């Protein structure tokens, strides 16, 4: 059939500031379904991210290589319209994670706007494992900043980066005198 690309490329866009196990879970679910998964890190310096776009790209590259060695997935950054970035890649499918009903309204608007901007683009929603359904990058930063334990929710390499950035003097849990 004409106009249907032979390779099914999924683009999973987001801020990923930082990447956590909910994000990793979605990539894992995409791998058996698509020929290639492109994690697309949004260049959004005006949102004052904790990690620069280059740091986030390096963080996700390292994680994907470690978690899915040899798998057809890669990491790119993009700015501007998602549909333009997808056209450059020859991709037609956007993947987004849906955690709860509260995500739905915004995601529904985005999906329909993207379809309006390019009718060939379809958005697919994926539900993460229940254990990650309450997890967000915002909460990760907030909880870790206050000294909470995020083991099992955030990959160890990301925890190390968070420690460097948020607790250069050492995580509160490991400081002498911490009794929580
Ligand atoms: P954005 O700024 O685009 O929302 P995020 O990095 O917060 O970027 O999220 C990127 C994508 O990952 C979105 O589709 C979001 O719904 C999804 N996502 C975020 N947290 C989770 C999670 N805990 N489990 C599964 N998907 C998630």
* Structure confidence by residue, pLDDT tens digits, 78-122: 999 999 999 999 999 999 999 988 889 999 999 999 999 999 999
If you search the block for the tokens 């060695």, which residue do you land on? 69
CA atoms within 13 A on the CB side of 70: 0
Sheet containing strand 122-126, edge to edge, reads 73-78, 36-42, 9-14, 93-97, 122-126
Rounded Cα gap, residues 72 and 74, in angstroms: 7
Query: In this predicted structure, what is the pLDDT of residue 101?
Result: 81
- 137 catalytically annotated: yes
pLDDT in tens, 136-154: 999 999 999 999 999 999 9
Catalytic residue among 8, 99, 115, 167: 99
Mutate to test the pocket of ligand 1, among 38, 99, 138, 154 (most ligand atoms within 8 A of CB): 99
* Ligand 1 atom closest to the CA of 47, numbered from 1: 2
SS3 of 4, please? Answer: coil
Catalytic residue among 92, 96, 137, 141: 137
- Measured in angstroms, how far is the CA atom of residue 173 from the centroid of ligand 1? 27
Which residue ranges form the domains of the chain, and what is each CATH number?
9-133 (3.40.50.620)
In this prediction, residues 169-179 reach a mean pLDDT of 62
Residues with CB under 6 Å of ligand 1 are 14-16, 22-23, 26, 96-97, 99, 103, 128, 132, 135-137
Query: In this predicted structure, what is the pLDDT of residue 176?
Result: 57
Tokens of 126: 């994926």
Closest residue by CA, ligand 1 atom 2: 15
Closest residue by CA, ligand 1 atom 10: 14
pLDDT in tens, 18-70: 999 999 999 999 999 999 999 999 998 778 999 999 999 999 999 999 999 99
Tokens of 115: 């379809």
Rounded Cα gap, residues 170 and 149, in angstroms: 13
């Amino acid at each position: 059939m004409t106009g249907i690309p032979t390779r099914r490329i999924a683009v999973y866009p987001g801020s990923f500031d930082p990447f956590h196990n909910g994000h990793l879970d979605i990539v894992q679910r995409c791998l058996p379904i698509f020929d290639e998964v492109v994690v697309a890190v949004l260049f959004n310096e005006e949102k004052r991210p904790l990690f620069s776009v280059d740091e986030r790209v390096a963080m996700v590259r390292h994680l994907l290589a470690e978690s899915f060695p040899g798998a057809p997935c890669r990491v790119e950054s993009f700015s501007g319209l998602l549909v333009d970035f997808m056209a450059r890649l020859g991709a037609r499918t956007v993947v987004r994670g849906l955690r709860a009903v509260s995500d739905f309204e915004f995601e529904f608007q985005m999906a329909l706007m993207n379809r309006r901007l390019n009718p060939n683009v379809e958005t697919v929603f994926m539900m993460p494992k229940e254990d990650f359904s309450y997890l967000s990058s915002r909460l990760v930063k907030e909880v870790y900043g206050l000294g909470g334990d995020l083991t099992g929710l955030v990959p160890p390499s990301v925890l190390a980066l968070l420690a460097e950035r948020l607790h250069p003097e050492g995580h509160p849990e490991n400081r002498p005198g911490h009794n929580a």
